[in-house]
Amino acid sequence: MRLTMTEDTNQFLEPRVVKDKLTVIGSFISSEAKKNAMRSGGSGQLANSITYKVQGNKVKISANTIYALIQELGGEIRPRKAKALAAPIDRESKGKLPADFPDLFPIYEKGKAPLLVVKNGDEIKPLFILLKSVTMRAHPYLRPALYNNRNAIMALLNG
């Protein structure tokens, strides 16, 4: 029989007990992270991608979306394959791509970012603004799940 000593309590625990406790903690933290991710008002894809896995005496919690890290930490977003980012500026274009609007055309004005617009009769409606980069503020979901629940996690470990 193998025993593991926890650092903060100096208790000896069987590996099965350690795995069971880490499973409960992983489930708890990932559940809290999912709640936090949903608060940012997205589609739910980030929340649905959050999982946990017990590996030895550690629990790994991760999110499997391309934008998980930028959501957690914030940062600058730049285009990779295009010359500019198309940021929606109208309800009609929110959550969509310029390719979803076949009649889009650009309007350029000196000293201002170009706009992608559609024409409805005599009316021109801006749908997207073209930007070289966008700075996104952090919308942390994982760190608060851990830090805001430290006492509950310690209680689960020691209980």
**Torsion, Cα of 29, 30, 34, 36 (10° steps):** 30
Phi, psi at 63, each rounded to 5°: -125, 130
- Asked if 8 and 70 sit in the same domain, the reply is yes
Distance from C-alpha of 44 to C-alpha of 49, rounded to nearest angstrom: 9
- Indicate if 94 and 124 belong to the same structural domain: yes
Nearest C-alpha neighbor of 135 from the set 96, 78, 65, 69: 78
C-alpha span between 153 and 26 (Å, rounded): 10
The mean pLDDT value for 89-107 works out to: 94
CA distance 120 to 122: 6
Query: Do 104 and 31 belong together in one domain?
Result: no
Query: How many domains is the chain partitioned into structurally?
Result: 2
The predicted-structure confidence for 80-91, as pLDDT tens digits, reads as follows 999 999 999 999
Mark whether 82 and 127 lie in a shared domain. yes
Mark whether 47 and 81 lie in a shared domain: no
Same-domain check for residues 9 and 70: yes
What is the pTM assigned to this prediction? 0.73
In tens, the pLDDT along 12-51 reads 667 788 889 999 999 999 999 999 999 877 789 999 999 9
Question: How many other CB atoms sit within 10 Å of the CB of residue 34?
Answer: 20
Whether 119 and 69 map to the same domain: the answer is no
Q: Which helix (H) or strand (E) holds 71?
A: helix 68-73
**Parent domain of 57:** 4-74+137-158
Same domain, 39 and 93: no
